[in-house]
Structure 1
Amino acid sequence: MRQKCKRFEANKSLDHLIEPGKSIYKNIKGQWNRLYFQNDYPITLEIGCGHGAYTIGLAKIFPERNFIGIDLKGDRLWKGAQEAKIYGLQNVAFLRAQATHLLDFFEENEVAEIWITFPDPRPKTRDIKRRLTSLRFLKLYQTMLIEGKRVHLKTDSNLLFQYTLDVLQGQGIQPYDYTRDLYGSILIDNHFGIQTTYEKRFIPQGMPIYYLSFVLKAANLTL
């Protein structure tokens, strides 16, 4: 608890972290490139970013793009924001917010790509609407995303992977690509060697990593 308190206090002065209490928090919607990044680079979101491994990793590889990691846990975001500060990354931001409130922070067509990396699979039936690939969330992504841009999912959960495929099929959406064994497929070359904390834990255990990406451009999503 003491460590969390120290991190919460440190977050107040971290420029890479946007959270309640900071003036930019309520004014950033539709203004990310102008108010924060001060460039016109395309924006990639990592939703449920945890410590921000993907956000940081991608930002290092693609300096010509902007990256935003979103999570509700301030102590996790502290780590990502600290790394961004240490590496001097000007194309990184972390946002402390609930995923259900995404449209409070992003305007229509403001986002060029979304990554969902190892989210809670929410295995209980009563939590289906809380899965980050449920129709509830897909409608949010569709609003924010520039037409034709992709959503990526990486997970160790066969349940979430199959659920997502079923949701897409039910909406007439064909995945752009997918695999039930990322590290045994040719798609691994598209992941740049970036591994999350969970991924590093699962791979030595021999657990398969599932991956799929899809485009919502032609979808008329119905709840």
Structure 2
Amino acid sequence: MGKDKLRRFAEIATFQNVKQLDEGKVLKGNWNISQFNNKNPVILELACGKGEYTVNLAKLFPNKNFIGIDYKGNRIWRGAKTAIEENIPNVAFLRIQIENLLDYFDENEVSEIWITFPDPQPQDSREKKRLTFPKFLQRYKTLLVEGGIVHLKTDNDQLHAYTLEKIEELGLNLKVRTEDLYNSEFADEVLSIKTYYEKKYLARDKNINYLKFSFD
């Protein structure tokens, strides 16, 4: 591991807005009060990378709490650092493996889930790693409040199609679907937030897919 990564890992250990591994388990069922000192809704961004979506959503919605989740500490360092520097109190980051979500959040604790440009895991052998694989979807259903929403933004047409297939198979409630977000009617202020990777995809004229669905 390079010196810069080591420095970032050491630094996030001192950040009040970052919880790592077992450190986050004690907040299960009580994130809004224990971490944010309020009773506002909790919203997750999974595979958040550098946390651009998490931070920008928090700016737009100061009366909601946002938690970016990723395993790579050197990435979430950027979002956590920005939130500290810009004094954004409704942002936190959690460094864990996403498959362990149920160890960190209680039933009905989460209002929305954002999945922004995850690794599409295109090989058939890695289907179970896709963040919209049915076992992941079942975890999301457990965590979400009644009517809670899942958002997926991806440049990967195959992951988009795969997720649509699972939505239909499981009888989920598809609310919005587009294969070309920025040439659709849905590109509002929220959906126009752009991550580091999304900017790279758009520079290559890649279409951006978006899905919005719920479990009821």
Question: What interval of TM-score do these two structures reach, taking the shorter chain for normalisation?
Answer: over 0.9
Of 190-199 and 39-48, deviating more is 190-199
- What is the match of residue 40 of structure 2? 41
- What is the match of residue 68 of structure 2? 69
Deviations 1:173-223 (A, max 9, x none): 241111000000010015353100111111121100000010012xxxxxx
Q: Distance in 2 between matches of 1:97 and 1:21?
A: 9
Q: Distance in 2 between matches of 1:194 and 1:98?
A: 25
- Percent identity over the alignment? 46
Unaligned runs of 5+ in 2: none
Shift of the 21–170 alpha-carbon distance from structure 1 to 2, 3 Å rule, reads closer
Paired residues for 1:30-179 under 5 Å: 30-179=29-178
Contact in 1 for aligned 2:180/2:209 (Cα 8 Å):
yes
Contact in 1 for aligned 2:21/2:94 (Cα 8 Å):
no
Query: Structure 1 length normalisation: TM-score?
Result: 0.94
- What is the match of residue 6 of structure 2? 5
Paired residues for 1:189-200 under 5 Å: 189=188, 191=190, 193-200=192-199
Shift of the 125–192 alpha-carbon distance from structure 1 to 2, 3 Å rule, reads closer
Shift of 1:169: 0.7
Letter in 1 for 2:129: R
Q: Distance in 1 between matches of 2:30 and 2:172?
A: 31
Letter in 2 for 1:39: N
Contact in 1 for aligned 2:178/2:209 (Cα 8 Å):
yes
Shift of the 193–172 alpha-carbon distance from structure 1 to 2, 3 Å rule, reads closer
Contact in 1 for aligned 2:44/2:68 (Cα 8 Å):
yes
RMSD of aligned Cα (Å): 1.1
Shift of 1:12: 1.2
- What is the match of residue 221 of structure 1? none
Contact in 1 for aligned 2:173/2:215 (Cα 8 Å):
no
Letter in 2 for 1:64: N
Q: Distance in 1 between matches of 2:25 and 2:48?
A: 21
Unaligned runs of 5+ in 1: 218-223
Deviations 1:137-181 (A, max 9, x none): 000000000011110000000000000000111112241111000
**Number of residue pairs matched by the alignment:** 215
Greater percentage in strand: 2
Q: Distance in 1 between matches of 2:123 and 2:105?
A: 30
Q: Secondary structure at the match of 1:27?
A: helix
Q: Secondary structure at the match of 2:82?
A: helix
Letter in 2 for 1:177: V
Q: Distance in 1 between matches of 2:198 and 2:46?
A: 16
Q: Distance in 2 between matches of 1:179 and 1:163?
A: 14
Q: Distance in 2 between matches of 1:35 and 1:44?
A: 15
- What is the match of residue 15 of structure 2? 14
Query: Structure 2 length normalisation: TM-score?
Result: 0.97
Q: Distance in 2 between matches of 1:169 and 1:20?
A: 34
